[in-house]
């Protein structure tokens, strides 16, 4: 048994302790950045040693609470692989941004970032519900402090709202875990999936888990904590919040809600898909009306995660496969958008769109990156977002053609709000002297270095998505086999 | 050689990349010539493909060049592959051929432009995307190019992103409008692809075509109509044509290349490319034919009253694309492509000549302020007139043959459509020569402007003479009955049109077409040069129609009132009232109620001690941490 997964999970924890131990902000920043980079490099070993199988790999299992039958149980498959790598990839970027711009309480800040990384990767790798739950709850605390301490004006309100919302969701989840434990006598996720559960329990447990996950995603109408949290959070917090923390919710659906309760999932699929569609259309419209750039990006997240949810609950191979890829795409694109909003905020200390205009003239490099990132988010074919979005919609069409129609309408709105933002920031005349060339500095090399890896990934996923999909789909196919009637239906339609 | 088909794409890609990263240190001219050279090499590579295909027997002239596996999710499998066949190679030749000329012209036209480097990067990127569009062997690859050219168009329309004027508003808004209107069309294409894949399990052209008969008629018609929606976006047809007139805010060579010669023809190309679908969905074809015919007429009426030289050409482009749409709609795919090619020649010529006028008049485009310009820019005047002759369908010019082919094919299907097209031809001849006479003939209406007017440099005339030659002689590509070269060449890709009518009828229709063109030109001459009393009287009689035409039949107003404004209002209402008010208000209210009712709730939830224990524990930890660090 290798300890690769534990290393990936706990290396940041070690880094957090080190950060608090070393003297001086420079050293603390160095240790934090070094830890995240090292963790990323270590996590690449997953790819190097990857086996083509739908099964769990790199499994670690140690008895943890033997009296209760609860194990410390980690494993990775095609569904969690890219989410782990997304986390280890985004973390050096978020920490790198913080190295440039965080000045207060650097040690604690960095330690919290690293703790959060441990919690998040733990969630993605845990194969025991209790362990999953512990990591899940644990991820709350660092984010709560990051928002509450390093956030903007209304940070305390936003932090508390974030905390209470998620706590309410996870309380339900805890109940469900206990019920499962008493019913089935185990908290082993894979075993529970294999065993299946009697119906009334499965229905209730599904609802409890779904609510807990839906808050995190967030699914309409449970989303209102998100704009507050994002607008108030420090930039690196937003990158991680949007980039990976929200994926804990969508991942929860794929890892737990679907395989443990396939019948219930199918029963609720239509309802959840409708809410996902609401998120796509409503989130996009609300984004359009935002005057704060960061709020706009936050609402765009709701719309994008609506696509992910739509794909998951299409319960087809394309839907779920596209959704898993789209989780990664959203992490990259929205992470990059928050990064760019943050860079602008550091320069002008405002996020109001009307404070800008004509920036393409004064900061062309910045605007170039803004354009590329916006296009990735819009789902321009050739870049990453398109592959996920299209595959999701294709998978949705097979089950619910009407939903695919409505979801596809969402891609029009996505272009509308993002091009409107780009129009307000980069285009038009340059009127405010504070935005003038020479006054407003363009991107520094260190900032470009944070953006380039993201842009490279846009193109890599956009042009060669099979590098990613080929590792995702075997696991998704195994999962989807539970609802494989859909393919039969479409074949019948052809014969007719 | 066919294995090297990717070279066609590699040259403009390399040009765009080299200019992006090295353009800053290359010097202005070098950037322009590098970009032009890249497209010229792509043209040569396309010629190579053409020669290769010519060497094969007709039925083997369809070669798939696999590049890599692009997307694979279970049974959804999409290759990145090129389909080299007569249709795609013809399109590649037009794109790179006309593209090269316009790149060279741009070296002169944009010589004073500070963002020279960015301009040529965009232009090369456009050519790349357009080649991906026409060469892809499957729907999704075509979609990549389809949205790619949309991005290039967006960037180039808003190239002067900080400018505004009375005619276009903010140029950046014109670009945004183009992208968004096209996205409405793209919605159709995305859904059509989903429908076809769900039905047939493939998105590759040849596999889809092979399976067409397996699809239910309704499904096929729906997919075709959705594709038609996409085509009306890209090719500026009813109902989505509204972006193209505003697109003239972009630099004039861009209007020539993207918004006249190539990109806007993508919808026509797409329908010709997918013709087996349309053959099997006659209802959708009929809709396409009527959309084309009506667009041709509607746009021509709007062109009658424009005073901005480029906008006349823009409405004329919409109208001519309407002819092409009519052509594919009646199943005359080869004729539509024929008109696409000749139109690329003469409309690029007209736009570039308009660019010379603009250049020589320091940005002025209002034809009411021009007059007698042939005295100041004689070559440009001749070049523009050649373009106008071809556009008007003057006998024996390229436009004469290609337009008449389409009208002839329409006559066989529907005399009503033929009538529509013929009447439009009269309007076309009139408005093109209205522009010629007002701009280049008569007296100078603005002496100051006239005095400062000058001819353009050689680099801005040379490419035009080549285009002028093609605009005059391009009909030779497909002389009906005598030498139908293009029809034969395209037959393996778009099938053959069955023609039942006899030679006599065809000759008669051709003569009618020629006479109509002459009549239109004569009418314009009477009205604007002779200023004959009867022509003035006719104009007086029609004057009440003028406001209607100037407002573009109120279509834009309708869209604004019925679509754009309501959506904005809904967005604001959702953001302010629904989201912050209702949903978030409820959330906060629940939070407060919970505090009030916590006593009662505690009793109810007594059984769930672990929840409480944990919330309490977490709460305590949080509180402690907050007091320590906060």
Peptide bond into A218 cis (omega under 30): yes
> Is residue B553 within 8 angstroms of chain A, CB to CB?
no
**Pairwise CA distance, residues A72 & B557, whole Å:** 65
**What pLDDT score was predicted for residue B618?**
62
Give Cα separations from B425 to B63, B236, B349, B509 (angstroms): 39, 19, 19, 13
User: What is the residue whose two structure tokens read 């696409």?
Assistant: B340
Question: Is residue B64 assigned to a domain?
Answer: no
Backbone phi and psi for residue B232, each to the nearest 5 degrees, phi listed first: -70, -25
Examine the fold and report which residue of B519, B544, B569 is the final residue of a domain before the chain moves on: B544
Mean pLDDT within B526-533: 93
Q: What is the pLDDT of residues B297-333, one digit of tens each?
A: 999 999 999 999 999 999 999 999 999 999 999 999 9
**Pairwise CA distance, residues B566 & B353, whole Å:** 41
**pTM assigned to the model:** 0.94
Q: What is the pLDDT of residues B39-73, one digit of tens each?
A: 999 999 999 999 999 999 988 999 999 999 999 99
B445 C-beta neighbours (distance < 10 Å), count: 15
Examine the fold and report which residue of B521, B544, B567 is the final residue of a domain before the chain moves on: B544
Nearest CA in chain A to B607: A175
**Pairwise CA distance, residues A410 & A279, whole Å:** 10
User: What is the residue whose two structure tokens read 């009527």?
Assistant: B290
Give Cα separations from A286 to A230, A351, B33, B110, B574 (angstroms): 15, 17, 46, 41, 6
* Domain residue limits at A408: 4-495
Regarding whether B419 and B313 lie in a shared domain, the answer is yes
Give Cα separations from A14 to A32, A111, A359 (angstroms): 10, 10, 42
Q: What is the pLDDT of residues A251-269, one digit of tens each?
A: 999 999 999 999 999 999 9
B320 vs A224: which has the higher pLDDT: B320
B1 C-beta neighbours (distance < 10 Å), count: 13
Nearest to A5 by CA among A52, A32, A42, A55: A42
Question: Is residue B164 assigned to a domain?
Answer: no
Query: What is residue B70's three-state secondary structure?
Result: strand
Instruction: Indicate left, alpha or beta for A24 from its phi (over 0: left) and psi (-120 to 50: alpha).
Output: left
Please answer whether residues B20 and A368 qualify as being in contact, where contact means their C-beta atoms are separated by less than 8 angstroms.
Answer: no
A45 C-beta neighbours (distance < 10 Å), count: 14
Regarding whether B424 and B561 lie in a shared domain, the answer is no
Regarding whether B331 and B458 lie in a shared domain, the answer is yes
Split at pLDDT 50, 70, 90, the class of A476 is very high
**pLDDT over 70 (residue B129):** yes
Number of domains in chain A: 1
Helix axis angle, B378-392 to B415-440, nearest 10°: 170
Give Cα separations from B624 to A145, B620, B630 (angstroms): 12, 6, 10
The two tokens of residue A75 are: 């494993």
Name the residue among B172, B587, B615 with its Cβ closest to that of A423: B172
- Mean pLDDT of all residues belonging to chain A: 92
Number of domains in chain B: 2
Chain B interface test: which of A135, A140, A224 (most B C-beta within 10 Å): A224
Question: Is residue B569 assigned to a domain?
Answer: yes
Instruction: Give the minimum alpha-carbon distance from A46 to chain B in angstroms, rounded to a whole number.
Output: 21
Peptide bond into B239 cis (omega under 30): yes
> Is residue B618 within 8 angstroms of chain A, CB to CB?
yes
**Pairwise CA distance, residues B193 & B196, whole Å:** 5
User: What is the residue whose two structure tokens read 């969402």?
Assistant: A410
Q: What does the DSSP assignment read for A3-29?
A: -HHHHHHHHHHHHHHHHHHS-SHHHHH
**Cross-chain Cβ contact B162/A428 below 8 Å:** yes
Q: Which residues of B touch A382 (CB under 8 A)?
A: 144, 147-148
Examine the fold and report which residue of B511, B544, B577 is the final residue of a domain before the chain moves on: B544
* Domain residue limits at B412: 285-544
- Mean pLDDT of all residues belonging to chain B: 91
**pLDDT over 80 (residue A1):** no
Question: Is residue B425 assigned to a domain?
Answer: yes
Mean pLDDT within A140-163: 88
Q: How far is CA A337 from the centre of its chain?
A: 13
Question: Is residue B107 assigned to a domain?
Answer: no
Regarding whether B414 and B301 lie in a shared domain, the answer is yes
Regarding whether B522 and B567 lie in a shared domain, the answer is no
Regarding whether B352 and B499 lie in a shared domain, the answer is yes
Regarding whether B600 and B537 lie in a shared domain, the answer is no
* CA-angle at A13, arms to A7 and A16, nearest 5°: 140
**Pairwise CA distance, residues B64 & B206, whole Å:** 10
3-state secondary structure B511-532: HHHHHHHHHHHHHHHHHHHHCC
Size of the A and B interface in Cβ pairs below 8 Å: 184
For residue A367, give every residue at least 6 positions away whose Cβ sits within 8 Å of its Cβ, in sequence order, or none: A359, A360, A425, A426
Question: Is residue B11 assigned to a domain?
Answer: no
**Cross-chain Cβ contact A466/B70 below 8 Å:** yes
**Cross-chain Cβ contact B147/A178 below 8 Å:** no
**What pLDDT score was predicted for residue A184?**
86
Question: Is residue B194 assigned to a domain?
Answer: no
Q: Which residues of B touch A225 (CB under 8 A)?
A: 587
Q: What is the pLDDT of residues B150-205, one digit of tens each?
A: 999 999 999 999 999 988 999 999 999 999 999 999 999 999 999 999 999 999 99
**Pairwise CA distance, residues B198 & B200, whole Å:** 6
**What pLDDT score was predicted for residue A47?**
96
Nearest CA in chain A to B189: A408
**pLDDT over 50 (residue B630):** no
């Amino acid at each position: 048994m290798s300890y690769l997964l534990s290393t990936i999970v706990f290396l940041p924890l070690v880094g957090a302790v080190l950060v608090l131990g070393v003297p001086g902000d420079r050293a603390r920043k160095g240790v934090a950045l070094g830890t995240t980079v090292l963790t990323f490099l270590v996590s690449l070993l997953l790819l190097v040693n990857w086996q083509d199988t739908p099964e769990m790999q790199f499994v670690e299992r140690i008895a943890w609470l033997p009296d209760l039958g609860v194990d410390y149980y980690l494993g990775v498959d095609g569904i969690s692989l890219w989410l782990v790598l997304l986390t280890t990839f985004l973390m050096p970027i978020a920490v790198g941004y913080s190295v440039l711009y965080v000045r207060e309480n650097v040690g604690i800040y960095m330690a919290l970032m690293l703790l959060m990384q441990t919690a998040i990767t733990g969630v993605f790798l845990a194969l025991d519900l209790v362990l999953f739950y512990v990591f899940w709850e644990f991820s709350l605390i660092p984010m709560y402090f990051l928002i509450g301490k390093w956030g903007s004006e209304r940070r305390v309100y936003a932090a508390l709202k974030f905390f209470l919302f998620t706590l309410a969701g996870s309380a339900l989840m805890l109940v469900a875990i206990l019920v499962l434990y008493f019913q089935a006598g185990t908290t082993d996720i894979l075993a529970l999936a294999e065993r299946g559960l009697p119906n009334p329990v499965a229905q209730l447990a599904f609802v409890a888990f779904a609510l807990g996950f839906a808050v995190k995603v967030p699914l309409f109408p449970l989303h209102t904590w998100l704009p507050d949290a994002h607008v108030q959070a420090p930039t690196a917090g937003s990158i991680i919040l949007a980039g990976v923390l929200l994926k804990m919710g969508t991942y929860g659906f794929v890892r737990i809600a679907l395989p443990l309760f396939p019948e219930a999932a199918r029963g609720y699929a239509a309802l959840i898909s409708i809410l996902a569609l609401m998120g796509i259309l409503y989130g996009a419209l609300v984004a359009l009306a935002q005057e704060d750039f960061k709020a706009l990006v936050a609402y765009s997240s709701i719309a994008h995660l609506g696509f992910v949810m739509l794909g998951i609950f299409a319960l087809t191979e394309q839907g779920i496969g596209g959704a898993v890829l789209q989780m990664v795409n959203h992490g990259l694109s929205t992470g990059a958008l928050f990064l760019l909003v943050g860079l602008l905020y550091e320069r002008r200390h405002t996020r109001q769109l009307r404070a800008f205009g004509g920036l393409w003239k004064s900061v062309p490099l910045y605007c170039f990156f803004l354009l590329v990132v916006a296009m990735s988010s819009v789902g321009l074919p050739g870049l990453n977002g398109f592959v996920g979005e299209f595959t999701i919609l294709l998978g949705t069409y097979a089950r619910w053609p009407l939903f695919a129609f409505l979801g596809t309408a969402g891609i029009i709105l996505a272009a509308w709000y993002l091009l409107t933002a780009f129009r307000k920031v980069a285009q038009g005349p340059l009127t405010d002297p504070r935005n003038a060339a020479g006054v407003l500095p363009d991107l520094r090399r260190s900032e470009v270095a944070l953006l380039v890896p993201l842009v490279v990934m846009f193109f890599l996923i956009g042009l060669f998505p099979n590098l990613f999909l080929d590792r995702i789909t075997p696991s998704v196919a195994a999962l989807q086999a539970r609802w494989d009637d859909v393919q039969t239906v479409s074949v019948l339609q052809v014969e007719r | 050689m066919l294995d090297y088909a990717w070279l066609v794409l590699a040259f403009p890609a390399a040009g765009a990349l080299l200019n992006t990263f090295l353009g800053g240190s290359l010097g202005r001219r070098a950037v322009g010539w590098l970009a032009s050279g890249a497209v010229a090499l792509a043209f040569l590579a396309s010629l190579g493909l053409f020669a290769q295909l010519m060497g094969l027997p007709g039925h083997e002239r369809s070669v798939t060049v696999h590049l890599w596996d692009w997307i694979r999710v279970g049974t959804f499998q999409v290759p990145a592959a090129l389909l080299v066949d007569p249709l795609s190679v013809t399109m590649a030749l037009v794109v790179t051929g006309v593209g090269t000329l316009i790149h060279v012209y741009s070296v002169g036209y944009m010589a004073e432009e500070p963002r020279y480097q960015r301009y040529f990067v965009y232009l090369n990127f456009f050519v790349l995307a357009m080649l991906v569009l026409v060469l892809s062997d499957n729907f999704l690859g075509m979609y990549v190019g389809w949205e790619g050219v949309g991005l290039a168009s967006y960037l180039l329309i808003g190239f002067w992103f900080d400018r505004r004027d009375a005619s276009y508003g903010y140029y950046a808004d014109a670009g945004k409008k183009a992208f968004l209107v096209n996205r409405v069309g793209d919605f159709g294409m995305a859904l059509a692809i989903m429908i076809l894949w769900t039905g047939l399990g493939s998105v590759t052209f040849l596999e889809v075509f092979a399976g067409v008969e397996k699809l239910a008629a309704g499904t096929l018609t729906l997919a075709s109509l959705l594709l038609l929606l996409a085509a009306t976006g890209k090719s500026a047809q009813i109902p989505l044509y509204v972006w193209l007139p505003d697109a003239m805010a972009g630099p004039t060579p861009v209007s020539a290349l993207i918004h006249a010669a190539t990109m806007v023809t993508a919808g026509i190309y797409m329908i010709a490319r997918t013709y087996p679908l349309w053959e099997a969905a006659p209802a959708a074809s009929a809709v396409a034919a009527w959309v084309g015919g009506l667009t041709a007429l509607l746009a021509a009426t709007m062109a009658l009253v424009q005073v901005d030289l480029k906008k006349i050409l823009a409405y004329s482009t919409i109208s001519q694309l309407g002819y092409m749409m009519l052509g594919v709609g009646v199943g005359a795919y080869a004729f539509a492509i024929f008109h696409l090619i000749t139109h690329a020649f003469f409309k690029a010529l007209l736009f570039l000549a308009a660019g010379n006028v603009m250049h020589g008049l320091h940005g002025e485009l209002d034809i009411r302020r021009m007059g007698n310009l042939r005295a100041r820019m004689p070559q440009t005047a001749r070049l523009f007139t050649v373009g106008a002759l071809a556009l008007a369908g003057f006998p024996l010019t390229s436009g004469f043959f290609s337009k008449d082919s389409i009208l002839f094919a329409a006559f066989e299907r529907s005399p009503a459509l033929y009538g529509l097209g013929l009447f439009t031809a009269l309007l076309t001849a009139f408005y093109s020569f209205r522009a010629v006479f007002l701009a280049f003939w008569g007296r100078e209406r603005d002496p100051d402007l006239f005095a400062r007017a000058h001819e353009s440099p050689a680099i801005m005339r040379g490419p035009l003479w080549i285009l002028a030659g093609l605009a005059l002689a391009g009909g030779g590509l497909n002389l009906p009955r005598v030498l139908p070269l293009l029809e034969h060449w395209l037959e393996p890709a778009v099938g053959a049109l069955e023609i039942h009518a006899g030679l006599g009828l065809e000759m008669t229709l051709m003569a009618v077409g020629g006479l109509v063109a002459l009549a239109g030109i004569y009418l314009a001459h009477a009205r604007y040069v002779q200023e004959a009393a009867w022509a003035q009287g006719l104009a007086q009689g029609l004057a009440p129609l003028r406001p209607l035409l100037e407002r573009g039949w109120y279509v834009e107003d309708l869209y604004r009132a019925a679509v754009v404004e309501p959506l904005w209002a809904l967005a604001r209402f959702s953001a302010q009232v629904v989201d912050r008010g209702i949903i978030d208000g409820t959330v906060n209210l629940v939070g407060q109620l919970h505090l009030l009712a916590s006593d009662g709730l505690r009793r109810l939830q007594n059984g769930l001690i672990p929840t409480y224990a944990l919330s309490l524990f977490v709460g305590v930890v949080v509180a402690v941490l907050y007091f320590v660090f906060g």
